Amino acid sequence: AQSVAQPEDQVNVAEGNPLTVKCTYSVSGNPYLFWYVQYPNRGLQFLLKYITGDNLVKGSYGFEAEFNKSQTSFHLKKPSALVSDSALYFCAVRASGGSYIPTFGRGTSLIVHP
């Protein structure tokens, strides 16, 4: 079985400050990890993924995520937050060689204050 935990329902950060949205996972074997963003009244949009290789993955809109195998984490980061980054963020995991259907976390609401 595979699972994803996003321990924070909401993250608040001031504009210009760095942001981190946390994600930990559990999977048998090697993980494929994904981050998605959802703006109000829209579907989820793919941000970035980790498959293999470099532990630091860069994605859309200046976001990056760091894969940490020992801590089974894949935290989403951005050096300088924008008000327009305010949205719902979802982490997802799929096992390499396992089901192609990903398991999503519950989502974290990011609020960036001006």
Partner 1 sequence: ETGVTQTPRHLVMGMTNKKSLKCEQHLGHNAMYWYKQSAKKPLELMFVYNFKEQTENNSVPSRFSPECPNSSHLFLHLHTLQPEDSALYLCASSQKPAGGQDNSPLHFGNGTRLTVT
Binding site for partner 1 (CB under 8 A): 32, 34, 36, 41-46, 49, 51, 90, 94, 96-97, 100-102, 104-107
- Shortest CB 51 distance to partner 1, Å: 5
Q: How long a stretch of residues is the chain?
A: 114
Closer CB to partner 1, 19 or 33, in the complex: 33
CB of 85 to partner 1, least distance (A): 19
Give the shortest CB-80-to-partner 1 separation in angstroms: 25
What does the alpha-carbon distance between residue 7 and residue 41 come to, in Å, rounded to a whole number? 24
